Structure 1
């Protein structure tokens, strides 16, 4: 038979403790630890403890504790020392006698018995005293990354202090012990890397025992404990031009998976500027031990000169900071501006194949444009590829970005975007499911390919008025098909109108799309895109301000 391995979630001083196996043929030795002598004395109602050192160690249930007379249940091998025996292999027990008299207390292991004679009398020495405090205290709230120190101060007028036992106070789980001596002693137990049982609201108990077995205990409540809400800024769209939206992406991680098996709510705040100003916040629920990405943004002020300033994302426990640059109106041209002039893809592809996007970029500014061009995919935007480019004033360049698509079973249609930080172009793409299913009409796979073009708009319009876009969709593929054609507007692309179009091969259809513009105060110029899963066409429009 082997005693089980006993694992406790404790601090740096105790971890997982494996006990030694025993066999029937092994020679066992037993020795008194406390009371150290055969006879001892204790006052009525005071605690008394017993321990023997067993080599090899024993299971708690294999030690048979007996007390003579009617007080046979005054001593128990269970709380608080049952788990102590599991860890150490030393049989231990405790209890109290309420009436004066003399009692024989014994423990038998594999036929060997060790006994004590206990005189219960008012003339016995007083029980040791013990006081326990916790730092931080019960009124504090900490995180799982913070440490907790529990301090026990003990005294014995007979000068016989022997040992202090630390115990989690709700489940009577043994944690650690410390050797004592003399008349007074102070012992501190410090957790590391978390608040351990305090997370569950459990107290901490200290048991102090003397060489002659006299025993006392005290307990303390711990602080409240919260999961740690960590934050890391993962990217921005800086530099941006003054008046444009500055976007900050941040990862929110919840530290506490060993203690919180639930969703934890976090509310990151975006703080900007040398004179810190709160400009945005977001509420997100994250399962403990995992992370989620949030996007925070604000519209920058219109400034003449280029400015660089800090942006910081804060949670209640952590902060992450980076510097961003906003290009002033007088400097905008000299910094270059990388516009997306054309965008094509190799879709449709089958799930698991590489999807490639080729974009033609033009620097419309007076100075060089040094940018990281990103390929962003999905309705929950994810950057899947990045390429750095440097384009001289008035020059163009072509970039090809791509990634290996997920091997979906069914057809999947989603947006892909090329983002230069100055400009964004978006197009819907189609990834065929590997099951060979069609696009929804129950026949063979749709091989239709829709080309689209913008034929006119009613701009300029005044903010708050309807913006109309005329377009043509043509099926240039070899099979009939049905696809969505979308109107997408803005530098941060937003789908504002969608038409479902069915076309035979070679057939075309005139389309009318539109939306109600926002009542802006100042003139606003921005891109509009009409797109199908296979192609897109782009224009720049102006909405007049209401002022």
Structure 2
């Protein structure tokens, strides 16, 4: 990767600083940035920096720096200021004078020259001080998804702080800057383990602080060790199985990270089952970063008399995937029912204190009758508020209605509700109006998915249609979004305007990823007030 391409790739704010037209095809106007005045002073042995604003921006190769009429010497456009000029178009350089005396420093671009007279004397103000720390620190280990904050604290007894430059320590490349003022300043560079690729490679982060008169100080800090994030997703099971048979759970593991540094990553995968979680199997696989590997975990089920449904959880040290599995009891004969939630509706929005009702359509897709305890679970901290026992024959459907009296909240409250059968779970976000005026003069958009074109082949377009109804008492315009995946991602959206009581249909979609193996995942259509979810299948290329 060329240096300039690398610079553009690191740091969240680099793009905002990048020049749109470096070059020397026209006359360039130069203006001093620091030192601001044409005369300045620095102590012997202390660093001093120079910067001019160029209009239009210029390339580093177009800058001619001279000291006392000669090129090179004590002042050079070295890192990070070479890459700084690449990004901003502003000529910059730094260096130091070891002996007392007076020197002329100049930069010339396309025939235009800016110069300074530098008095090197022990009577000059002291260099600014700078302390740089990293959180998490160098003794910590984080994943590529975790946040990293590098904080610089600068001070200048003369009160002339001006600018702070961030430089990564791998390629000595400039990544960001912050304007300062006064005698003290603290600023933080925020990034993630995955973006701070210099930390992945074991290199430091460096800060430079410049004063208005050019005095310059640098400091550095080491960062944490950065490891790949080990994702896991259950792709299928052989459930339902008969009591005493082996239950097999298949899962895809994929380490997220930077392949330049991680390469093959050892991923330990654990299978944990039951309402009273029990570890039953584990496997360690070596997976190349950015690639997926399928693992199969299994255990011999207990010889139980009655059919049981319980959670099966696959874990790595960073991620978890859960599904419900069913073991057919020895006294339940050939019953292998499987109860899916194929439709979910609510009477939301309601006002706090009113009854919230959730109606679900249940379909038995197994090859035997399904007797289940169906649960209504509500809230961000999930709580079971109602249950109902149902039995659904093979190939049949049934409708259940569960509900509870909502809490009389003062302010509007939005939260998820779930219907759980033991074999399947469906959810929807509902709105409960607060007693302090919630629902008065407001537009509220209810959402109901009406269909999808799933299953589709990987790489094909997946479309989802949904009915949007304004159940509020005022006209309004809101964004409606399509969210997909177990790690939710917004892939499409539309702005919808509706009068009170009006309904419209939206069609949203996206081009699916060409997966190798079949992938089953949720899709959600949501407004700011409600949502509806379906599970879809994308066929793999194999």
Partner of 1:448: none
Find the aligned partners of 1:143 and 1:53 in 2 and give their Cα distance: 39
Find the aligned partners of 2:115 and 2:337 in 1 and give their Cα distance: 92
Partner of 1:108: 108
2:65 is equivalent to residue 65 of structure 1? yes
Instruction: For residues 275-309 of structure 1, give each alpha carbon's deviation from its aligned partner in whole angstroms, at most 9, with x where no partner exists.
Output: 32221112222221121211110001112222222
Partner of 1:180: 180
Q: Secondary structure at the match of 1:8?
A: helix
Instruction: For residues 68-105 of structure 1, give each alpha carbon's deviation from its aligned partner in whole angstroms, at most 9, with x where no partner exists.
Output: 28996111111231100111111100011111111111
Task: Give the superposition deviation at 1:330.
Answer: 2.0
Instruction: For residues 126-153 of structure 1, give each alpha carbon's deviation from its aligned partner in whole angstroms, at most 9, with x where no partner exists.
Output: 1001100001110111111111100000
Find the aligned partners of 1:6 and 1:109 in 2 and give their Cα distance: 26
Partner of 1:19: 19
Task: Give the superposition deviation at 1:236.
Answer: 1.2
Structure 1 gaps of 5+ residues are 338-361, 371-388, 393-403, 405-547
Find the aligned partners of 2:69 and 2:22 in 1 and give their Cα distance: 33
Task: Give the superposition deviation at 1:17.
Answer: 6.2
Find the aligned partners of 2:120 and 2:253 in 1 and give their Cα distance: 62
Task: Mark the CA change 1:97 to 1:278 in structure 2 (over 3 Å): closer, same or farther.
Answer: same
Structure 2 gaps of 5+ residues are 339-365, 373-392, 397-456, 458-542
Find the aligned partners of 1:170 and 1:230 in 2 and give their Cα distance: 28
Partner of 1:238: 239
Task: Mark the CA change 1:178 to 1:47 in structure 2 (over 3 Å): closer, same or farther.
Answer: same
Find the aligned partners of 1:235 and 1:183 in 2 and give their Cα distance: 62
Partner of 1:118: 118
1:5–1:17: 8 Å Cα contact kept in structure 2?
no
Task: Mark the CA change 1:175 to 1:96 in structure 2 (over 3 Å): closer, same or farther.
Answer: same
2:117 is equivalent to residue 80 of structure 1? no
Task: Mark the CA change 1:309 to 1:228 in structure 2 (over 3 Å): closer, same or farther.
Answer: same
Q: Secondary structure at the match of 1:82?
A: helix
Partner of 2:454: none
2:236–2:249: 8 Å Cα contact kept in structure 1?
yes
Task: Mark the CA change 1:83 to 1:21 in structure 2 (over 3 Å): closer, same or farther.
Answer: same
Q: 5 Å matches for 1:118-517?
A: 118-192=118-192, 194-196=194-196, 197-257=198-258, 259-260=260-261, 262-333=263-334, 335=336, 390=394
Task: Mark the CA change 1:31 to 1:300 in structure 2 (over 3 Å): closer, same or farther.
Answer: same
State how many pairs are aligned. Answer: 348
Task: Mark the CA change 1:250 to 1:22 in structure 2 (over 3 Å): closer, same or farther.
Answer: closer
1:41–1:124: 8 Å Cα contact kept in structure 2?
yes
1:209–1:216: 8 Å Cα contact kept in structure 2?
yes
Find the aligned partners of 1:169 and 1:132 in 2 and give their Cα distance: 13
Find the aligned partners of 1:141 and 1:205 in 2 and give their Cα distance: 20
Partner of 2:56: 56
1:7–1:15: 8 Å Cα contact kept in structure 2?
no
Task: Give the superposition deviation at 1:6.
Answer: 6.8
1:147–1:195: 8 Å Cα contact kept in structure 2?
no
Partner of 1:41: 41
Task: Give the superposition deviation at 1:12.
Answer: 2.7
Give the RMSD, CA atoms, in angstroms: 2.9
Find the aligned partners of 1:248 and 1:76 in 2 and give their Cα distance: 62
Q: Secondary structure at the match of 2:14?
A: coil
Find the aligned partners of 2:313 and 2:307 in 1 and give their Cα distance: 19
Higher mean C-alpha displacement, 174-183 vs 297-306 = 297-306
Instruction: For residues 322-375 of structure 1, give each alpha carbon's deviation from its aligned partner in whole angstroms, at most 9, with x where no partner exists.
Output: 2222222222345579xxxxxxxxxxxxxxxxxxxxxxxx97x8x5799xxxxx
1:368–1:391: 8 Å Cα contact kept in structure 2?
no
Find the aligned partners of 2:50 and 2:112 in 1 and give their Cα distance: 16
Task: Give the superposition deviation at 1:113.
Answer: 1.6
